[in-house]
Amino acid sequence: MTVVETPPPLPVRDRAALHERVPGALSPMLIRLAEERATGVLVREHGTLHLAEGRVVHAESPLAPGLDVLLTARGTLDPAVWPWTDDIPAAAQRLLAADLLPRGALELCRLGALYDAGYFALAPSSTPGRFRYGTTAAAGPWRAVPVADLERETLRRRELLHRIWPDPSADGAPLIRADPVAPPPVTPRQRAVLDRVDGVRTAPRIARELGRPAFHTLVDVRRLAAAGLLAPRSTAPAPPPLPPVTDPDIALLKRLRDALEAL
């Protein structure tokens, strides 16, 4: 009989003590996993982090384009030669083995996709994260990212967006065009984003269509919002319709009018 050992639950530690030891920690659970050199998958509300011996080897988020989109959307790689699979790290290794892209370019793009998805995975969450011990995406020949580096970069990105425009409401909402009296000039990158604003598309969707990192698109969206060129579409419910005007109402209005004219 084979005995399957279930890893013990993560120990409960004092949150205040953790933040004193690791100032600015975005995910206390992730910090603990890094300290324990854990291997497995951390599932959070907006993304997933794959850890190998306490380091991040892969990140995914529905809000960030994956490596496949970044490489194929703008012609860097022919979609026909992409090894279509859900295992993105394995696909990257196949590309490297087939000599379809220089290793340095592929690694740079892979790290960009990891930090992009990691930014969303570490976003404030309304639900607790879950960690599954066990196998994870293979690091292969790629560099694993220390948790501290990912958290530091995520904080830097948050601060940059806040400096550009402190209101985050445009980050995930459907976007609408604004019509300022004297619109400022925009860069070609910003124009490509603005041309796709239609009241339905969100910043992550625009990033996917353009084949750009989602965070870079957020930078453009915040700058366009600061310039008054776009805004999040209001999701407030429409006001209820006014009740129909009845004959007694009309008669009452006429009596009031006659009374006012007689004054």
Report the alpha-carbon angle 49-54-60, nearest 5.
10
Identify the pLDDT of residue 15: 44
The overall average pLDDT reported for the chain is: 83
Residue appearing with tokens 């030669």: 81
Please list the residues that pair with 131 across neighbouring strands.
42
Cα separation, 175 vs 177, whole angstroms: 7
Residue type, 35: E
State the SS3 of the chain. Answer: CCCCCCCCCCCCCCHHHHHHHCCCCCCHHHHHHHHCCCCEEEEECCEEEEEECCEEEEEECCCCCCHHHHHHCCCCCCHHHCCCCCCHHHHHHHHHHCCCCCHHHHHHHHHHHHHHHHHHHCCCCCCCCEEEECCCCCCCCCCCEEHHHHHHHHHHHHHHHHHHCCCHHHCCCCEEECCCCCCCCCCHHHHHHHCCCCCCCCHHHHHHHHCCCHHHHHHHHHHHHHCCCEEECCCCCCCCCCCCCCHHHHHHHHHHHHHHHHC
Cβ-contact 115, 149 below 8 angstroms: no
pLDDT digit string (tens) for 49-63?
Answer: 999 999 999 999 999
**Single pTM value for the model:** 0.78
With bands split at pLDDT 50, 70 and 90, how would you rate the model's confidence at 18? very low
Higher pLDDT, 211 or 135: 211
Cβ-contact 201, 194 below 8 angstroms: no
Identify the pLDDT of residue 135: 79
Report the alpha-carbon angle 157-158-163, nearest 5.
95
pLDDT digit string (tens) for 180-222?
Answer: 888 899 999 999 999 999 999 999 999 999 999 999 999 999 9
Angle of the 147-164 helix axis to the 214-226 helix axis, nearest 10: 20
